Structure 1
């Protein structure tokens, strides 16, 4: 009958394992070549530095390109702003020319309307048709008055308004003197008569008013 304890059995098994196991393969592994390893690391470091320099050069080039692009954008924005201003100026000039032509038409209609208002038929001539003639002239005058009002409305929609002159002190910014009067009952340098209407557009003079001024 065996008297061995479990500990003795374990020790015996371990001794048998050590005797039977070949540990030669554990020492046969090649040791790393430190020189080659450091050489590779140095080469890798050199490559990293080269890549870093290339990356920095690329960043510098990109920064220069961005700066150039910003400068070009500013120059383009300035040119666009100047082109916009030139376009607005051209539009204002075209609008001004067109409105002055409208005012010329207005003057002709206004002169014809005033002539009709001031017309007085000769009693001795065409007495048999005087009533009809007066009715015809009045109807023409009404038509011209309607046309004048519509033209005034068109001008007002385009920000054009007549200058108020008669009875006002002479203003060289909006008026020009074409005749002189003498009315002792009125103040000096006051407008006696408006000979041609003046107009403003957006508070700027479109056409000077031609007026008769009192001079004592």
Structure 2
């Protein structure tokens, strides 16, 4: 191939380009003198490698944050489940205490009713007492009458105690049985 001669550059344009290039080089030299204490600007490959490493680090940290959030959610769920179990256990404990209290009160009331029946039988027996011809002269009749009055007072007091606990007598004597 035949080399073709390049057209000659106008000397005024050439001088202007040389002046601009000289100014540019002076500016680069001045900025290099000012940046002598800082690191040199990295090349494009190093910059891209640093950005890629930073991107990977951000990904790893975001995964760690997500993992921590998942663990916190699991911990909060466990706490919530434990709280629910605790509340259920407390409700069961309160219910068990209530049932135990009712059973104890029921047993006590049954024993008091048995005592009342025995006192009533003693009172009825004392009221039916009729002294024989040998004991009319003694104080046995007065003793039995006093004992019947004492039994009546004890029965009345026991009836009041049972009534406060909700145990009231049923009037069923003489009535027809209704299953």
Is 1:42 the counterpart of 2:88? The answer is no
Specify which structure has the higher proportion of helix: 2
CA drift of 1:107 comes to 1.0
Is 1:160 the counterpart of 2:167? The answer is yes
Change (3 A) 1:66 1:98: same
The match for 2:85 is 75
Alignment size in residue pairs: 148
Is 1:141 the counterpart of 2:148? The answer is yes
List gaps (5 residues or longer) in structure 1: 1-21, 173-216
Post-superposition CA distance 1:73-110 (Å, at most 9, x none): 32333333233323322332222222212211111111
List gaps (5 residues or longer) in structure 2: 1-25
The match for 1:177 is none
The match for 1:52 is 62
Specify which structure has the higher proportion of strand: 1
Partner SS, residue 168 of structure 2: strand
CA drift of 1:26 comes to 4.2
What TM-score results when the alignment is normalised by the length of structure 1?
Answer: 0.57
* Moved segments of 4+, more than 4 Å: none
User: Which structure has the greater CA radius of gyration?
Assistant: 2
2:110 to 100, 120, 125: 100
Name whichever of 85-94 and 59-68 sits farther off: 85-94
Higher relative contact order (CA 8 A, sep 6+): 2
